[in-house]
Structure 1
């Protein structure tokens, strides 16, 4: 199981979308406070639709609390400042992939100790960053692909027809 970590997320709609993605992917979600919203906020639930109650989510008081409770975690840091792309690393089962808050990303005082596991999504030009929920989906599904989509449905079925 892959673990998605949001460091101080600010927008409930993004966190709701990420929660829904985590449920679909069988991933755990870890939220590091302070959050920019109330966990019971309507926008959060709306974006997560009826999946929020199926989500495996843990909330931490701060980054230090997260590290204390996950001392053996192999953490990949998703940041626009990384020296390598998300496709250049190998994601182990049960690894953690951390994403920063929408307005500022992961603080550099955290990143500086994670150069070997900092990753970026390539972009053209001076684009500051992608939407947080899109970034999570891109990196999470690469990690799942590298792990052969373990325990996921790999085949779809038509409802009213059969594939030829």
Structure 2
């Protein structure tokens, strides 16, 4: 499985390093846990019990540079006009943490934001929050894998999407 020192993506926390594996007391009983430290938030520490399949499934190996670039070459998603259906789809996407689905969701929200901006409107609070959470996950993966600053990721992605569109 995973080893101390490995970099992984964990839920909505983004890229983390496995700082240690140790026994801690949870709910009064000893439990073996991975201790994760988010790469881009040194103040946080995450304890993942080794016997919790649900939480262990949130730990995913990082993609290669080529896998990330291939994701950006995929066609834009079909936009679902039903806001409630989109909200549920976004919730499930964030919960799954699947990078393909996250990138599709970000592209869909970007398109919706441009459309609404043209009409003088803004994204709903839920779409705005979902966008930020998805960006937190993906931007940290892109930054870590590509060796760039997280603030450079939006421009990098925009540039790659422009290349794919031409």
Compare the two structures and name the one with the higher helix fraction. Answer: 2
Larger radius of gyration: 2
Ranked by relative contact order (alpha carbons within 8 Å, sequence separation 6 or more), the top structure is 1
- TM-score tier, shorter chain, comes to under 0.3
What is the TM-score when the length of structure 2 is the normalising length? 0.24
